């Protein structure tokens, strides 16, 4: 039943709907996820090690995620071209499994791209 709920949510066209599944299982086969969203134009963008470390910190500070570090040893950004707002979904990867999805807004997608390019922006007054 949990996998069915995830499949139904993943078959919807927005990353927010994927997150809304509320599945209690933390990891699912990546191939299953790719199969469910392939007809919706889903784009998977693997994260570099620097991006993965950065987004793990975001995950830790996100009040909507479970306590502790996310599962896995890598991550990918899942985006749907037709999704309003340009946000996406971080899927943490543990081998061939997709784990602990986390929706992110376009602003964070943009910062993540900058981290991947080594572009850092230190705005603010500091200490």
Per domain, the residue ranges of the chain are 2-117
pLDDT per position as a tens digit, 71-88: 889 999 999 887 778 899
Q: In what order do the strands lie in the sheet with 88-94?
A: 27-29, 97-104, 88-94, 74-79, 43-46
Residue 17 in this model has a pLDDT that exceeds 80? no
- The burial class, CB within 10 Å (0-12 / 13-18 / 19+), for 92 is buried
Would you say residue 8 has pLDDT above 70? no
**Confidence (pLDDT) at 124:** 59
Does position 7 have pLDDT exceeding 70, yes or no?
A: no
Q: What is the mean pLDDT of residues 97-124?
A: 88
Q: Give CA torsion, residues 25, 94, 19, 15, to 10 deg.
A: -150
Average pLDDT over residues 25-29: 80
């Amino acid at each position: 039943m949990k996998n069915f709920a995830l499949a139904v949510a993943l078959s919807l066209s927005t990353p927010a709907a994927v997150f809304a599944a509320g599945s209690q299982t933390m990891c699912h086969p990546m191939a299953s996820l790719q199969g469910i969203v392939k007809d919706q134009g889903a784009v998977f963008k693997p994260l570099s090690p620097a991006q993965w470390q950065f987004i793990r910190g975001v995950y830790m500070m996100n009040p909507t995620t479970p306590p502790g570090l996310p599962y896995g040893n890598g991550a990918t950004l899942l985006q749907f071209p037709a999704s309003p707002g340009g946000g996406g979904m971080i899927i943490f990867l543990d081998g061939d499994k997709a784990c602990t999805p986390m929706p992110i807004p376009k602003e964070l997608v943009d910062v993540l791209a900058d981290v991947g390019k080594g572009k850092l922006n230190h705005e603010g007054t500091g200490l």
